[in-house]
Structure 1
């Protein structure tokens, strides 16, 4: 296989890897979004279930007199809180750890019995207490100090945290997508560096150019810029036109595009090691600084 064909195949395989990864990533993140929506819906049912279990008369009155709905028909669709909660919690806590990490400890705290808790009150009664049928009484008349109904506010807060995840999920998934894409581009750039170390300078320049092109394309897509041609030069012009980059940044990318063209099209001379180093290092700088 001659060098020209080898370069075409290298470029083909790198592009294919990008496409396969992008499709898989989109499917995975779309599934995460669907899972959060499902958990939110299940949370509504669980909230109604725990309220109905503790205050059935009030719930029936509310549905019959206020909502004008068939209460008995409504009850048929409710889960049993104790059996349905644990699977819901296990899935929800995992997603919150990823999508809303600042609220993860709050979510867990509302479920787990506090370590070192000296006494149980309505204020520190948690869902784990509810699941174990904990009831605290005081005095000769066994007045209930804290019972199962005290778990309702705790679950309401958990449900609201899931609501917060749902409200911020698009930005959270965008952040995750950016991190994954950045990791992929870094890995491809490492391949270019390895090719350069093995004196495969033209191939290294082709791979670095593909990485730069893909990064610029992602910037345009995130900013909803209409892409007509997906070359480094065209994408660079589009970003400058829409004032995403300033003139020094535009000029820097233009120089990188020229170095890439030497690797792709200029057969009159081989690219120099210093040029490939400039292309790889310059691409790395763009990936790290231009968004």
Structure 2
């Protein structure tokens, strides 16, 4: 590595080395912070994480396979024979730390996935509540307001789906988002056609002042929006 820095990169290796953290000084803080995190968020790997650090209470001999991080921190080196050939030394701790590092990484991935599930669940509950309001408005024969609320619910959900999937959309209308979802194969033709019909009903409620939306049209819009928020993610 020093040769690569000095001859290939033409940089000062010693200066670079000074900027690196000292493992023996930094590890204990990292371990102390990681341990309770694993206990709470990934309890099935808690004992594994500790076992990679602590010296076994019963160990007949130290080998590369059972060398742990605590051995490294105590400068343990095992040699054999007249020529003092190293059987297990500091480099044997690298696999143990790599496993610990990956365990923490798994927590971060799990946490991100859990937060996404929580966000999705909360959003679904909020949209369900809005659809219940739309149903109440329709029950009171306020069909136009009921259709507008249902259309907004559908619009919000499709916008969230497009954002989560990082789809490029020109405008955040139901029609434009429907085109994007079909283009990127998030939905098939039946869903695409259904959303198109729902968009037309929404526009009827919002813009068409020549006639009032009918009860069955608003019911289709409410039921359709409810189906979309439960089947398209």
**TM above 0.5, one fold?**
yes
Shift of 1:162: 8.5
Structure 2 gaps of 5+ residues are 139-143
Deviations 1:81-121 (A, max 9, x none): 233113334566759x98xx7x966982564438x753163
Shift of 1:186: 0.3
Shift of 1:213: 1.5
CA distance in 1, matches of 2:24, 2:174: 57
Give the TM-score of the pair, scaled to structure 1. 0.51
Note the aligned Cα RMSD (angstroms): 4.8
CA distance in 2, matches of 1:238, 1:134: 60
- 8 Å CA contact 1:191–1:204 kept in 2: the answer is no
Residues 247, 73 of structure 1: alpha-carbon distance in 2 compared, 3 angstrom cutoff? closer
Match of 2:117 in 1: 179
Shift of 1:249: 1.3
User: Structure 1 or 2: larger helix share?
Assistant: 1
Map residues 1-291 of structure 1 onto 2, 5 A cutoff. Answer: 63=2, 65=3, 67-68=5-6, 70=12, 72-89=14-31, 94=37, 108=49, 111-113=52-54, 118-119=58-59, 121-122=62-63, 123-131=65-73, 133=74, 135=76, 148-158=90-100, 161=102, 179=117, 182-196=120-134, 199-201=136-138, 205-221=147-163, 226-240=168-182, 244-265=186-207, 268-269=211-212, 272=215, 278-291=220-233
CA distance in 2, matches of 1:277, 1:130: 69
Residues 204, 183 of structure 1: alpha-carbon distance in 2 compared, 3 angstrom cutoff? farther
Residues 82, 138 of structure 1: alpha-carbon distance in 2 compared, 3 angstrom cutoff? closer
Instruction: Mark the structure with the bigger radius of gyration.
Output: 2
Residues 147, 234 of structure 1: alpha-carbon distance in 2 compared, 3 angstrom cutoff? closer
Deviations 1:20-60 (A, max 9, x none): xxxxxxxxxxxxxxxxxxxxxxxxxxxxxxxxxxxxxxxxx
Match of 1:58 in 2: none
CA distance in 2, matches of 1:240, 1:225: 11
Match of 1:7 in 2: none
Residues 276, 179 of structure 1: alpha-carbon distance in 2 compared, 3 angstrom cutoff? farther
Tell which has more relative contact order, 1 or 2 (C-alpha 8 A, sep 6+): 1
- 8 Å CA contact 1:195–1:203 kept in 2: the answer is no
Match of 1:44 in 2: none
CA distance in 2, matches of 1:264, 1:213: 13
Bigger shift: residues 216-225 or 186-195: 216-225
Shift of 1:242: 5.7
- 8 Å CA contact 1:185–1:211 kept in 2: the answer is no
Give the TM-score of the pair, scaled to structure 2. 0.60
Structure 1 gaps of 5+ residues are 1-61
Shift of 1:73: 3.1
Deviations 1:156-182 (A, max 9, x none): 4445x38987xx97xx96x56753552
Count residues with an aligned counterpart: 213
- 8 Å CA contact 1:239–1:245 kept in 2: the answer is yes
